[in-house]
């Protein structure tokens, strides 16, 4: 009997939520997605040390150590992404720094820089997804980039308002979170949840339903899983990005996987697009989404700062 991982791949495209090349080779995902937290983990992996030494040695000497370290993060992200692109058949998501999450123009400029760094390594924009936080400013940046032919992955997505704004903007892919949503509700209520009443699972199913009912082209990729039960409860979601630990569990379990996400036929009309005030009001009304978006941006920035300091110490 096939593993649950192989069975899951019959219903959803599997994406590796890691920068670990060995894990990516082992589980053979379609795509891979990275963020500063994952790059920070990769910074200590023996297999990446020659690449890190090479990239740091090649950095231009302009600026002080902190300025050079900040530039080095982009170069390392693209260097690691290029290695990953040589292993996966699909795309690599590469993140714009979280500290730019409320600056549309700076996010666009950073995206252009990342695409240019990939081009210098022979990796075309068709192999890359620019990853942005799902703030109003991040979504507006994605709207511009999509019109330029630069596809985007909108992350840290916790509310219906964020999802609707991404669909309106023509974003290529959204990453609604599962585990962090459930974490919030468990803390607030003191309850445990089964896969069927799990708030994170229900949220992502709702995003999938909204996409299909509206006839939008945006791809939904469930993210931030805590358990394989959560993963399997979203079988049938177009893409699922899964950590190596959960990929290993799925690869060693055997059994059938039944689709749990059903996509509806498009309705005759779509809701009116959200304007900025409507977006901010609707998102504001969701306490969980407000808390988790702000926390996620802070966490990514903290890991980016830690990574910059680790790099500065080696320069």
Residue appearing with tokens 């309705």: 267
CB 284: neighbour CB atoms within 10 A?
12
Q: Which residues does residue 222 pair with via DSSP β-bridges, in sequence order?
A: 240
Which residues make beta-bridge pairs with 152?
A: 130
Q: Say how many CA atoms lie within 13 Å of 135 toward its Cβ.
A: 20
Q: Residue 9 contacts by C-beta under 8 Å, 6 or more apart in sequence?
A: none
- Residue 255 φ/ψ region, left for φ over 0, alpha for ψ in the -120 to 50 degree band, beta for the rest: left
CA-closest candidate to residue 93, choices 53, 65, 124, 130: 130
Q: Which residues are catalytic?
A: 131
Is residue 97 left, alpha or beta, with left meaning phi > 0 and alpha meaning psi from -120 to 50? Answer: beta
Q: Token digits for 249?
A: 């569990």
DSSP readout, 125-180? GGGEEEEEE-SHHHHHHHHHHHHTT--EEEEEE-SHHHHHHHHHTT-SEEEEBSHH
Half-sphere exposure of 40 (CA within 13 A, CB side): 15
Residue 300: strand, helix, or coil? helix
Helix (H, G, I), strand (E, B) or coil at 203: helix
Q: By the 8 A CB rule, do 19 and 131 touch?
A: no
d(CA 14, CA 30): 6
């Amino acid at each position: 009997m096939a593993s649950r991982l192989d069975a899951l791949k019959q219903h959803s495209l599997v994406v590796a939520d890691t920068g670990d090349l060995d894990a990516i080779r082992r589980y053979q995902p379609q795509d891979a997605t990275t963020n500063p937290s994952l790059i920070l983990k990769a910074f200590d992996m023996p297999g990446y040390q020659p690449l890190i030494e090479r990239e740091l040695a090649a950095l231009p000497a302009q600026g002080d150590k902190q300025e050079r370290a900040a530039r080095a993060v982009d170069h390392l992200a693209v260097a690691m992404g290029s290695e990953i692109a040589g292993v996966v058949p699909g795309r690599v998501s590469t993140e714009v720094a979280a500290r730019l999450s409320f600056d549309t123009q700076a996010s666009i400029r950073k995206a252009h820089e990342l695409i240019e760094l990939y081009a210098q390594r022979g990796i075309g924009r068709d192999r890359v997804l620019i990853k942005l936080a799902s703030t109003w400013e991040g979504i507006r940046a994605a709207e511009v980039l999509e019109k330029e032919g630069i596809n985007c992955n909108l992350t840290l997505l916790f509310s219906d308002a964020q999802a609707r704004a991404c669909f309106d903007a023509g974003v290529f892919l959204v990453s609604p979170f599962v585990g962090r949503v459930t974490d919030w509700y468990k803390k607030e209520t003191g309850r445990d949840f089964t896969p069927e009443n799990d708030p994170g699972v229900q949220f992502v199913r709702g995003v999938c339903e909204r996409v299909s009912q509206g006839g939008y082209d945006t791809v939904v990729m469930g993210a931030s899983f805590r358990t394989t039960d959560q993963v399997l409860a979203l079988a049938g979601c177009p893409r699922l990005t899964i950590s190596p630990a959960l990929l290993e569990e799925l690869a060693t379990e055997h059994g059938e996987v039944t689709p749990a996400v059903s996509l509806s036929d498009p309705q005759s009309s779509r809701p009116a697009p959200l304007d900025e005030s409507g977006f901010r009001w609707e998102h504001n009304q969701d306490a969980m989404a407000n808390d988790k978006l702000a926390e996620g941006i802070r966490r990514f920035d903290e890991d980016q700062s830690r990574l910059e300091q680790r790099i500065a110490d080696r320069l």
